Chains A and B, each alone.
Chain A
Amino acid sequence: MAEQTQDQLPKTTADGIELASSKVEILAGSGTDPTAATFVLHEEDHTLANPLRHAIMQNPEVEFCGYSIPHPSEYKVQLRIQTTQETTALAALKKGLEDVYAMCDHTFKEYHRVMKAGEYEIVDEE
């Protein structure tokens, strides 16, 4: 594994979720084959990695996808993607991200539609 130097580490802003220049990188040793790569997502955990893994695995062109958090004291996720010759690991990652976003968006709209319809019991606690 490539040794991390100080300037490669993600720059943390106060809220910790702003864009860092090295938020995402490809792990050294991925080679030249575009259909297989391990991505490192800095400052992310199961919250993002697990739904992302799920969305990527739903892509029929993806042969393998899995993630790991190599050590609990390092705030990062390693995401491995292997695809068929029809696509690339990077394209699968991007499609996965788009799909998670779209799933959230749909859930949000559906939740608000039902909330607006108001077919539920309102309980007064006091």
Chain B
Amino acid sequence: MPYDRDHVVLEAEQVTNISSQEYPHQFPNDTRKFGLEAFRENLQVKIWRVSRDEMEFDLVGLDASLANAFRRILIADIPTMAIETVFMMNNTGVIQDEVLAQRLGLVPIYADPSAFTFKTANQAPTDVNTIVFDLQVRCTRKPNPGPGETDPDKLYQHHSVYSGDLKWSPKGDQAEKFADDPIRPVHSDILLAKLRPGQEIHCEVHCQMGMGREHAKWSPVATASYRLLPHIVLKRPITGDQAERLQACFPEGVIGIVEEDGKRVAKVANPRRDTVSREVLRHDEFKDLVELKRVRNHFIFKIESSGIIPSSTLFSQSIKHLMHKVKVVMKAVEAMENSMVEE
């Protein structure tokens, strides 16, 4: 098969044409343009769905290296606040201190990271680098349960400790600063521990700023991923019952059947919905009729925020972060160049 410049090819047992060869001097008599100008001409953005915590959009016309950089930054490089230190005053529940602390750490904390700074190991906690929560829950018996009652909800008060039990304790000017949008766990219904009458958890937790590359609890996204747009090629018209069998090889909506000259003909309706299961290649009748490909520069991004930063803001932050990285290196390169001239 001749090399396909724009598609990754999916065969039954292997994936071919994987790497992009879109660089100067790669093809004889190449008329394609490269570099910035071509990038500006080709880039397309299409946003499909946006909600507070989730968004799906397409980036078309860029290299995987750039798309992957945006994805990596989303996961590992955008700072948030998360519980880092737990001061355990009392814990008589069955969940061990260190397990409880680990669970606390993973609770997303709704706090604007831009209002805080990083705290280094030798810095003391202050109102600009630390958020304090108190957690004090004691389980007691409810009065007069019915005879033979086994439902813990009816028997005990506070038998479950939820993230909503974390009470923010504002320090310095935090109370004024965040009056309109108080700091709190994003979700109040995350189960942290279970207690029985007489058991108690009492601790103070300190949140600090960090990045996902150190621990996933600081990642602002539940996940951020992309996939390449599927591209299905029907090499010859597929009609009648065969068209229906072809349709059955794909998820709903991928293959449509239209009437043409009194015949039912299969057409690719919405390749976006394909999961690229490659089921079609398992059928001998379709082996030579269908080609499965993916468009190499069409990225379908999905960002799922952990709820701290809105999903639509996250992507712009990711781009800005890469620009910042470039700026820092550029400055250093210029400094190095100047010092070389001096020598």
Contacts and interface: CB of A to CB of B under 8 A. Distances in A.
Contact-residue size bin, chain B (C-beta under 8 Å from the other chain): 35 or more
Nearest to A110: B45
Contacts of B47: 114-115, 119-120
Contacts, number: 147
B312 interface: yes
B7 to A, nearest CB: 19
A19 B50 contact: no
Given A14-B120, A58-B34, A114-B46, A108 B328 contact: no
Contacts of A105: 323
Given A103-B62, A114-B45, A114-B46, A51 B322 contact: yes
Interface string B310-343: 0010011001101111111111111111000000
A124 B315 CA distance: 19
Contacts of B51: 122-125
Contact-residue size bin, chain A (C-beta under 8 Å from the other chain): 35 or more
B204 interface: no
Interface string A76-117: 000000000000001001100111111111111011111100
B35 A99 contact: yes
Contact of A47 (B69, B312, B335): B69
A26 B324 CA distance: 22
Contact of B333 (A17, A50, A93, A108): A93
Contact of B23 (A23, A52, A57, A114): A57
B200 interface: no
A46 B332 CA distance: 18
A63 to B, nearest CB: 9
Given A25-B336, A47-B322, A120-B49, 17 more contacts: A14-B119, A15-B118, A46-B69, A47-B69, A48-B326, A58-B24, A59-B35, A100-B66, A101-B330, A104-B326, A106-B39, A107-B66, A110-B44, A111-B319, A120-B48, A120-B57, A123-B50
Interface of B: 23-25, 34-36, 39-40, 43-54, 57, 59, 62-63, 65-66, 68-69, 72-73, 76-77, 79, 117-120, 211, 312, 315-316, 319-320, 322-337
Closest 6 CB pairs of A and B: A23-B332, A14-B118, A50-B65, A123-B51, A60-B24, A120-B47
